[in-house]
Chain A
Amino acid sequence: MLKRRLAGVPLWVLAIVALLLLGGVVVGPMGLSLLGVPRPEPELPAEVVFHIAGFPITNSILGAWFTIIVLAGLSFIITRRMKMVPGRLQSAFEFLVGWVYDFCRRVAGEENGRRFFPVVATIFLFVSFNAWLSLVPGFGSITITNEEGHAVHLLRGANTDINVPLVLALVSFLFVEYFGLRSLGIRYLSKFFNLGPFLRGLRQVLKGKVGAGFGAMFSGLIQIFVGVLETLSEFVRILSFTFRLFGNMTAGEILLLSAAFLMPFVFPSVFYGLELLIGFVQALIFSGLTLVFLTLAVTHHGEAQETHKE
């Protein structure tokens, strides 16, 4: 073995990789049945692996359980023996948790940041670890024959099944309404059913001040319309969260599959980096938008009207 290195990699490693690459490029188009691989077919709905008491368990559920086990296991291991001067793993997680906490505090303010931190951090960690763990080599390669006899993947990234982003969007919607109702009481609903100005105008007309009354009624009608729009946007937000996360993750997975079967080793490495970044950014956006809408829901109606950004 030559002792030389090129760009830090021993020469014989480079030679083997180049040979494999050349072999793949030459043999691939020839379509040899021995060395050929079938084209990958990405499936949109998740495939069922087995049933538990009549309830179908799909491979994306197994992927989600895998993420949960990894996250819970890591947290348990790190908090076993916490030291004042942390070791490497503990300081890495302190950095992660501290970063998310600072993000919450920066966007939502001091005490609101503290209140919203559990929801936001959970969503962030779940989405990002789902995305990153599906990039670990070997994740999509284990196949198992399910009950009907097809060969299906054992694990699949949970974000690529449309039910998971839908559930996360519903959870974030429920928490926004819960925190809004808890902070503002029933007055929170005046954001959606804003009959106050209209009724005030009506009372003015009945008292005899017709001119000012009709003007107030008109602006009250506009306020009612704005309330209807707000209600609509709350529900459309669920759909937008779902499709943003699902679309990004599914498109990334299809891209990686196609790139890996197009030209192995070289082509997909660029897209792997892109997928890492996209997983992180999508998790940040999901949790960040949840945080922003939580903050908007908790501020008083008067302030929310002036700083109406959406």
Chain B
Amino acid sequence: MDPAVMKLLAVGLAASLGMLGPALAIGLIGYSALQGIARNPEASGPIMTNMILVTAFAEAIGIYALIIAIILVFVG
């Protein structure tokens, strides 16, 4: 196959497959955070703070995939 075609394929697969995991993770985090708030509405402040913190961890993994895709596009 043409190297240019392979490169485009690689970029698309890297970006899209890499985002599946973090998207699922953030959805699960939101699910548990909402369950916690539903059980105990008074604790919604600390729950939200911790939810944002853990979401940052999960999102960082998606950003790694994005960086690989960007590097593939601009280098080589």
Residue ranges of A at the interface with B (Cβ–Cβ < 8 Å): 44, 240, 243-244, 246-248, 250-251, 254, 281, 284-285, 288-289, 292
Contacts and interface: CB of A to CB of B under 8 A. Distances in A.
Contact of B64 (A243, A254, A281): A243
Contacts of A281: 52, 56
A250 to B, nearest CB: 7
Q: Which residue, A247, A254, A288, A292, has most C-beta atoms of chain B within 10 A?
A: A247
A244 B63 contact: yes
Interface in B35-76: 52-53, 56, 59-60, 63-64, 66-67, 70-71, 74
B56 A44 contact: no
A240 B67 CA distance: 12
Given A251-B70, A254-B70, A243 B53 contact: no
Contacts of A248: 59, 63
A247 B56 contact: no
A223 B31 CA distance: 35
A247 B53 contact: no
Contacts of A243: 60, 63-64, 67
A247 B64 contact: yes
B60 to A, nearest CB: 4
Q: Which applies to chain B's interface (DSSP): helix, strand, loop or mixed?
A: helix
Given A248-B63, A281-B56, A289-B53, 9 more contacts: A44-B71, A240-B60, A244-B59, A244-B60, A244-B63, A247-B64, A247-B66, A251-B66, A289-B56
Contacts of A251: 63, 66, 70
A106 to B, nearest CB: 8
Contacts of B71: 44
A23 to B, nearest CB: 32
8 contacts: A244-B59, A247-B63, A247-B64, A251-B63, A251-B66, A284-B52, A285-B56, A288-B53
A250 B67 CA distance: 9
Contacts of B70: 44, 250-251, 254
A246 B12 CA distance: 21
A289 B52 CA distance: 11
B53 A44 contact: no
Contact of B53 (A250, A254, A285): A285
Contacts of A250: 67, 70
A246 B56 contact: no
Nearest to B69: A251
B73 to A, nearest CB: 10
A292 B64 CA distance: 22
9 nearest A-B pairs in the assembled complex, by CB-CB distance: A247-B63, A244-B60, A285-B56, A247-B67, A251-B66, A247-B66, A44-B74, A244-B63, A240-B60
B71 to A, nearest CB: 8
Nearest to A44: B74
A193 B70 CA distance: 39
Contacts of A289: 53, 56
A289 B63 CA distance: 17
Contacts of A288: 53
Given A44-B74, A240-B60, A246 B67 contact: yes
A243 B52 CA distance: 18
Contacts of B63: 243-244, 247-248, 251
Q: Which residue, B60, B70, B71, has most C-beta atoms of chain A within 10 A?
A: B60
